[in-house]
Structure 1
Amino acid sequence: MADEVQPDADSLARKWWSDADDLSLLTQVNNDLPFKHAKSTAKAWDSDAAKLLQAPSFARNGLDGEKASSRCFHLLRVHRKFQETSKYMSGVAQDETGKIVLLDEVLQLYEEHTEQRKAERATTTAEAS
């Protein structure tokens, strides 16, 4: 057991996303909107991941499109829950950080895109019937 190599604190820290990394991811997603690519969504996420890896402010290693999309959608789910609970807190002051503003924008764009795709599918299904 003494021969086992223990990961150092630096490598463990890289496994968790920092707020700066989340902000970089959300900024890139807001710029490129990879979820809007109908045919090549995976390629769009891979492209975003490659751009993030080239950014000097992005501290994570080994990012690919799947990890980027997974983290982005996780952030959107958590933010949607936050919005649902915060709407009942009328009159309570809440901090609007850059991350929250970006999450608001990306979530709105994602929900609009989802509704548009549902409408297109309903139209296609109705025409096929």
Structure 2
Amino acid sequence: MSYSAQEQRNLDLVQAMFDHVLIPMDGDAADRFIAADYIQHNQWVDTGLEPLKAFLRKVRAENPDAVHDIKRRFADGDHVVVHYHVRRWAGDTGFAVMDIFRIEGDRIVEHWDVVQDVPADSPNPHSPF
């Protein structure tokens, strides 16, 4: 897939945010990637950077061994979509997650997500990944 220079910068920004914030669940690193007035659409977290940082600290404390396994990423203009598998502990079937980020300049300014449990047994032979 071919991306414009800006789309590639957006993909790189989101990947760096995953590498430094979401994968290690490091709320303190979020300032480097996410705008202070960040708009959050996830229904588990209030809007803004500080509530996100608090949420990341809470999740890290509850699930210190969580894994975020990125399966694919896409860019479309100022939006980046990331599809990944979250597992909270060894043996956890986890969640299939799709995050959508909107970028302005060099910061993530808005986020939406869809989270689906991965069942241990399914009549469908195709993985969600």
Please state which band the TM-score falls in when normalised by the shorter chain: under 0.3
Structure with greater helix share of residues: 1
Structure with greater strand share of residues: 2
* Larger RCO (alpha carbons 8 Å, 6+ apart): 1
TM-score using structure 2 length:
0.27
Q: Which entry has the higher C-alpha Rg, 1 or 2? A: 1
TM-score using structure 1 length:
0.27
